Structure 1
Amino acid sequence: MGATSHQSGAAGRAPTADHPSSVRNVVLVGHSGSGKTTLVEALALTAGAVGRAGRVEDGATVSDYDEIEHRRQRSVQLSLVPVTWGGMKINVLDTPGYADFVGELRAGLRAADAALFVVSAADGAEGLSGATRMVWDECEAVGMPRAIVVTHLEAARADYARMTDVCGEAFGADDPDAVLPLYLPLHGPAGPDGHAPVTGLLGLLSERVYDYSSGERTERDPEPAERALIDGARSRLIEGIIAESEDETLMDRYLGGEDVDLGTLVDDLERAVARGTFHPVLFAAPAAAGARQGLGTVELLELVTGGFPTPLERAAVAVTGPDGAARPEVVCDPDGPLLAEVVKTSSDPYVGRVSLVRVFSGTLRPDAPVHVCGHGAAGRAHEDRAPHGTDERVGTLTSPFGRQQRPLDRCVAGDLACVARLTGAETGDTLSSRDRPLLMEPWAVPDALLPLAVEAHGKADEDKLSQGLARLVAEDPTLRLEQNPLTHQLVLWCLGEAHQDVALERLRTRYGVRVDPVPHKVGLRETFGARAAGRGRHVKQSGGHGQFAVCEIEVEPLPPGSGVEFVDKVVGGSVPRPFVPSVEKGVRAQAARGLGAGHPLVDVRVTLLDGKAHAVDSSDAAFQTAGAMALREAAAQGRVQLLEPVAELAVVVPDAYVGPVMSDLAGRRGRVVGTEQAGPGRSRVRAEVPETEIGRYAIELRSVSHGTGLFTRAYVRHEPVPPQLAEKVRERS
């Protein structure tokens, strides 16, 4: 790292890989606004994938992925930009930084072998959100190699020294010496405003200056003042690298005064980075107008190609057959059995469904027969995404670049490519050979816990709604579709408001379906609070056969979960035996429709005590009507309680936010039932809360916990609504 020899990719050609050893897969992680997409464009420019104007052949920029992103000025989906450097193909995966699109981030982490955490020098410690630190911990848990890139060097308030310390504090809690800068920013002359721009980098290992002030990277020896800056930081960096060296004698020799040659240090650094035990900090900035290279981009590309692991170094993949039986683990081998995974699904107006796949084993070729199978819903078997499997034929293989799709003749193990016309493939599905079908366990995605009830805007939209929603949830595993049996609403469960907006916009622009959001209803129920009696009298005479039925019932409450019981205690044949089921049918139909507020009646016993019939005018329909009338009269005479569903929430937050979370839950009529440790520095708060109080909790928890909280919910039971609230609900019904 620090060498200047490299081989750039040619703009307009799709980068290809002949072997996994020549592939690097890296995902960019960082909060919204940290500069990830700008960094991708700078890397593409430096690698020669785009011209100096930052444009590809059709005039689109490298960041032209989605019209929605352009309108919102924010990344909302995973994007792949392949470039070449030093004879290596680098698949750069740009992920959204907003919490609502964490599903895209998870997909990027699954497809990558290393991660670049992008932080803004302008934001300081505030820019390192709790969510970013959580992702760092997840990468730590699986041993994924990581490096930190500091952006927005041009900001007047950027404090580079402080930012390096912040990164060490945030990402190196266990070992601060494992998070250290490889370079220091070099400042040019101060401008009229007193701000001195960053014009180059000081290489701490190479002891060289890399000057970008001319728009081209040049290299020179440091001046005395620059040498002093290098010497001040170089010793700590060397000690940090040697501490991770496999040569246990190296530290003693270094402390004893022996000089360690640059080649040894670079080799040890690259091995430590690849193992995920050392995390270098680098600086990067976009190129100035007309320049060919962005500041720090050469150094970053050299780190990726030299320090990040190849797909060959990834752990073997555990697989099963479609029947769930375990199969031998699969390693990265271009000649091995085919194993690939759909990490992203999108729709193209010309070619239809396009699947971005990561090939873990074998070689994928155009027009090859494959078996597609999946667990459904990223491992959660919701009704809208059941496990599935089908045989298909691969369409065209392409390499994406902005809006372009450049043809490929193959995709080897370890590489990524887009596959056309996999009509049955959903995000998270596994591709394998037909004669040896395999299934990978999908990556974990958070539960969608923010409900959005929708209705078709018009008749034309109603006809297309079902198919449009099915395609939408096939693309995005964090969406969940529900047809609520109690409220009869069509509910799209999302991760947040921005996620909702993008889902509706995609539904309208991609699939031509317009929907109207409507207030989400919670499935309330009713029951009797005490015994009550009712009499139903249905008597009509209008010439010819009339209608005659009378029945008397008693209603009494039952324990929760009992449903509706019907008991026949008629004596003397006052209600003829053939009409007793008719009364029951009418009672149950009325119970399902509800009483007063229109919510289903539950947990009661209805006893038929007496009645009257007519030899000619009584009928099945008449006694059904009488039974329903009797139940309504009992409700009018008795005390009907409104029941609301109660959910158990398990909220995981850093210890510092336990107090605010518990106070917030209490304000929602919640009852805290316990707290427990959920890992280092994190606690799990368990509480029972009425579902009517947590409709927007997915959003509000972010505010309370500063974006660091997670929660799950599970239905527990229905409980009576407090009288004052019940009255308001009835008034709204």
Structure 2
Amino acid sequence: MAISTKDIRNIVLISHSGEGKTTLVEDLLFQGGTISRKGSISDGTTVSDYNSDEKFKKHSINLSVSFYEKDGVKVNLIDTPGYFDYIGEIISGINCADMALLLVDAVSGIKVGTIKFWKMIAEKNMPAIIIINKLDKENSDFVRVLGTLQESLSKACIPVYYPAGLGNKFNGVVNLITKEGIDKLDGINKNKAAEFSTALIENISESDDKLMEKYLETGELSDNEVKLALRAGIIAGKIIPVIPVSSEKGIGIDEVMNFIKIYAPSPLDMGPREAVNVLKDATSESVDAGSTKVSIAPDTGMNFSAHVLKTISDPFTGQISIFRVMSGSLRSNQSVKNVTKSASEKLGQLFFMKGKDMILSDNIIAGDIGATAKLKITETGDTLCDERNSIMFSKINFGEPAISFSIKPKSRVDEDKISGVLVKLSSEDPSFAVVRDSQTHELVVSGMGEMHLKTVIHRMEERYGVHVEIGTPKVAYKETIMAKGDAQYRHKKQSGGAGQFAEVWMKVEPLERGAGFEFVDEVVGGAIPKPFIGSCEKGIKIAMSEGIIAHFPVVDVRVTVYDGKTHPVDSKDIAFQIAAAHAFRQACQNAKPVLLEPVMRVELAIPESNMGDVTGSLTSHRGRVQGMKIEGGVDVLSAEIPLDEMYKYSNELKSITAGRATYTMSFSHYDPVPSNLAQKIIAENKRDTPVYGE
């Protein structure tokens, strides 16, 4: 059966870990006829969690895409991990979906991750359905959890179904839109359901002035009026429907599927997406500032365009690119243009993903999510177009990595393979970054959390056979001065061969933090000829790179060369470089040199019960609290903490809060290291190479 864009639903499932997303996907695929039997997480047989590391850990690590078709509607299900360590996967999922299913536990209710994920949904203005799951569990409480949703997330959270029973008596749901089944509930629940039903209809009527007027006059609305107004309210974000479910027992699944079919937005409902016209041969790094913004509607009659949302490195198939078609349609074996890279790509066979399985297709239309294999240059976030089209969608912002490890190959074989493997892994996961630190000469991998990095390193070993040793990366300290200093240095070399002579007088003074380096020439009367002034600056820069107290780069200093002497024969470029380097070191030694350390800006989302322990621990790690606020019932603490302490603190934070706290981290500034710590660092980094010219 041919599916049109209006019949497509793109749904991303989001929740704190353990709320039942993957099991719900199994239910939906089974009820939708895509699979013949439901898999289980414990057996490692689910469609979504198909990687070996997911089967071993019993939770989702990667974004996965699957789909079902029922009653003329195709529903793409994007299952995402529940741990913030894998936030890149969640960001990709949100970027390609039109609606979110947010799952909440009917026993424990809202968790820290729930608040974070809700904030991400709200920032995208994405319509959402909230699933209160596990109503079959002992101590489950639909009304209590609903109250916390309304208090912590939004007053617009309105139940559209009500549970018939709780715990082991939970056996179905009652429709609050049609009121069918309310009379069969017991007294208390019957009254509560009727109250919720009335509130729902009132909320629906408030979405339109004419409906409100009719409702106030007659006290009722027609079924069609309710349906149209409820759908419009959901798409506009004015109503957030809440549905009780047990994904483990499959209760409420039919109702969820029916609700998605009728009320979830199609790509047409969500309207155009913004892009920019790109000049010929421009790339994402060189898009002209004057490029005009354009709206790309999900219209199959328009030129083809697509946004790549996920790249998978499959050891058998090769690179798989998962994309959403934004406009037009795409055929197998078609040539397309990667506008981001300003290069052409030849597509192979197209297919739809069902977890790890590939369902072949010759055509993918606007609004749908498909995939292809073995593209040569295409990466996550790239824009693909037909040759007549030159538009580009915004690159996906995956945020800044929160934690880093240094890694070192264990053997020569590992060393030969590691570069290519790291390129593949970073292409597959843009939230994973790799750099060769120019200062410490270490290979440093960075990610969103310790769990994230250990997962990537496990993949290196299992998938590619590359083994590494893990260490805490060296902190990129810097040096500067706190006062003014003055020095002069004469370099004279007469032994063997041509002589060398140069004398340089200079003064140094501190600049404000982040200012860098400033060179000033105040030499008069030709005491140092102009060609050798440049030699002096070059020598100073070399000395700055070598450091003055602990072999770390010197920053934020103004150097003024104001006098010197030359020799008519022996003065040379190299002589003035050496003299200036020595003069610089001596001047800085007279100017209160200090060691600087990077300080990070950290935002922590913490359960209220752990706030005291966290702030105490933060202080013990030289952290400084900058502010505190409450977002959706969760305490959010802003602080500054030295990077060296943050390496140690991340594990301690996880231990204190039993893994319930999350944090984001970004560079803030450099600060002087306390003298007692600085002496230890200086002793550990004694100069092991000679000063330039020695």
Which residue is equivalent to 1:113?
98
| 1:238 paired residue among 194, 198, 201 | 198
Question: Amino acid of the residue matched to residue 26 of structure 1?
Answer: I
> Is 1:316 aligned with 2:269?
no
Report the secondary structure of 1:119's partner residue. strand
Which ranges in structure 2 are unaligned for 5 or more consecutive residues?
280-287, 686-694
> Is 1:180 aligned with 2:134?
no
Report the secondary structure of 1:179's partner residue. strand
| Separation of aligned partners in 2, 1:255 and 1:571 | 94
Which residue is equivalent to 1:559?
510
Verify the 8 A CA contact 1:60 1:402 in the aligned structure 2.
no
Which residue is equivalent to 1:643?
595
Question: Amino acid of the residue matched to residue 142 of structure 2?
Answer: Y
Q: Per-residue deviation at 1:489?
A: 3.1
> Is 1:435 aligned with 2:395?
no
Report the secondary structure of 2:479's partner residue. strand
Which residue is equivalent to 2:416?
463
Verify the 8 A CA contact 1:148 1:282 in the aligned structure 2.
yes
Q: How does 1:265-276 map to 2 (within 5 A)?
A: 265-276=226-237
Question: Amino acid of the residue matched to residue 682 of structure 2?
Answer: R
Which residue is equivalent to 1:3?
none
Verify the 8 A CA contact 2:602 2:663 in the aligned structure 1.
no
Verify the 8 A CA contact 1:487 1:521 in the aligned structure 2.
yes
Question: Amino acid of the residue matched to residue 328 of structure 2?
Answer: G
| 2:329 paired residue among 351, 354, 363 | 363
CA RMSD of aligned residues (A): 4.3
| 1:77 paired residue among 53, 62, 75 | 62
Verify the 8 A CA contact 2:137 2:168 in the aligned structure 1.
no
Q: Per-residue deviation at 1:403?
A: 2.3
Question: Amino acid of the residue matched to residue 151 of structure 2?
Answer: E
| Separation of aligned partners in 2, 1:182 and 1:551 | 88
Which residue is equivalent to 2:308?
342
Which residue is equivalent to 1:27?
12
Verify the 8 A CA contact 1:119 1:149 in the aligned structure 2.
yes
Q: Per-residue deviation at 1:107?
A: 1.4
> Is 1:408 aligned with 2:408?
no
Question: Amino acid of the residue matched to residue 362 of structure 1?
Answer: G
Deviates more, 1:294-303 or 1:525-534: 525-534
Which residue is equivalent to 1:722?
674
Q: Per-residue deviation at 1:134?
A: 3.9
> Is 1:144 aligned with 2:126?
yes
Report the secondary structure of 1:280's partner residue. strand
Verify the 8 A CA contact 2:484 2:507 in the aligned structure 1.
yes
Structure 1 residues 563, 265: closer, same or farther in 2, change over 3 A?
closer
TM-score (norm 2): 0.81
Verify the 8 A CA contact 1:242 1:265 in the aligned structure 2.
no
Structure 1 residues 64, 141: closer, same or farther in 2, change over 3 A?
closer
> Is 1:297 aligned with 2:224?
no
Verify the 8 A CA contact 1:564 1:588 in the aligned structure 2.
no
Which residue is equivalent to 2:448?
495
Report the secondary structure of 1:491's partner residue. strand
Q: Per-residue deviation at 1:688?
A: 6.7
| Separation of aligned partners in 1, 2:406 and 2:475 | 11
Question: Amino acid of the residue matched to residue 361 of structure 1?
Answer: S
Q: How does 1:183-222 map to 2 (within 5 A)?
A: 183-186=162-165, 196-208=168-180
Question: Amino acid of the residue matched to residue 335 of structure 1?
Answer: G
| Separation of aligned partners in 2, 1:22 and 1:447 | 37
- Alignment deviations for residues 591-629 of structure 1 (CA, whole Å, 9 cap, x no partner): 42234521234536486988999999x998788777767
> Is 1:135 aligned with 2:89?
no
| Separation of aligned partners in 2, 1:584 and 1:644 | 23
Verify the 8 A CA contact 2:107 2:137 in the aligned structure 1.
yes
- Alignment deviations for residues 398-443 of structure 1 (CA, whole Å, 9 cap, x no partner): 1222321111111111111111122211111111111212101234
Q: Per-residue deviation at 1:329?
A: 1.5
Structure 1 residues 641, 441: closer, same or farther in 2, change over 3 A?
same
Verify the 8 A CA contact 1:648 1:686 in the aligned structure 2.
no
Report the secondary structure of 2:343's partner residue. strand
Verify the 8 A CA contact 2:153 2:632 in the aligned structure 1.
no
| Separation of aligned partners in 1, 2:328 and 2:251 | 38
Structure 1 residues 655, 322: closer, same or farther in 2, change over 3 A?
farther
| Separation of aligned partners in 2, 1:708 and 1:697 | 12
| Separation of aligned partners in 1, 2:235 and 2:174 | 23
Which residue is equivalent to 1:171?
153
| Separation of aligned partners in 2, 1:678 and 1:258 | 39
Question: Amino acid of the residue matched to residue 722 of structure 1?
Answer: P
| 2:298 paired residue among 332, 336, 360 | 332
| Separation of aligned partners in 2, 1:319 and 1:582 | 50
- Alignment deviations for residues 607-663 of structure 1 (CA, whole Å, 9 cap, x no partner): 6988999999x998788777767777778x857623314557385879989999988
- Alignment deviations for residues 515-561 of structure 1 (CA, whole Å, 9 cap, x no partner): 333332233233465646576778797xxx46876766666432224
Deviates more, 1:399-408 or 1:302-311: 399-408
Structure 1 residues 158, 659: closer, same or farther in 2, change over 3 A?
closer
Identity %: 29
Structure 1 residues 536, 460: closer, same or farther in 2, change over 3 A?
farther
Which residue is equivalent to 1:731?
683
| Separation of aligned partners in 2, 1:143 and 1:537 | 68
Verify the 8 A CA contact 2:435 2:445 in the aligned structure 1.
yes
Which residue is equivalent to 1:161?
143
| 2:319 paired residue among 334, 339, 353 | 353
Q: Per-residue deviation at 1:26?
A: 0.9
Q: Per-residue deviation at 1:249?
A: 5.7
| 1:282 paired residue among 243, 249, 256 | 243
Which residue is equivalent to 1:5?
none
Which residue is equivalent to 1:307?
263
Structure 1 residues 695, 610: closer, same or farther in 2, change over 3 A?
same
Deviates more, 1:503-512 or 1:315-324: 503-512
Structure 1 residues 437, 256: closer, same or farther in 2, change over 3 A?
closer
Structure 1 residues 513, 708: closer, same or farther in 2, change over 3 A?
closer
Q: How does 1:404-553 map to 2 (within 5 A)?
A: 404-527=357-480, 531=485, 545=496
Question: Amino acid of the residue matched to residue 725 of structure 1?
Answer: L
Deviates more, 1:604-613 or 1:195-204: 604-613
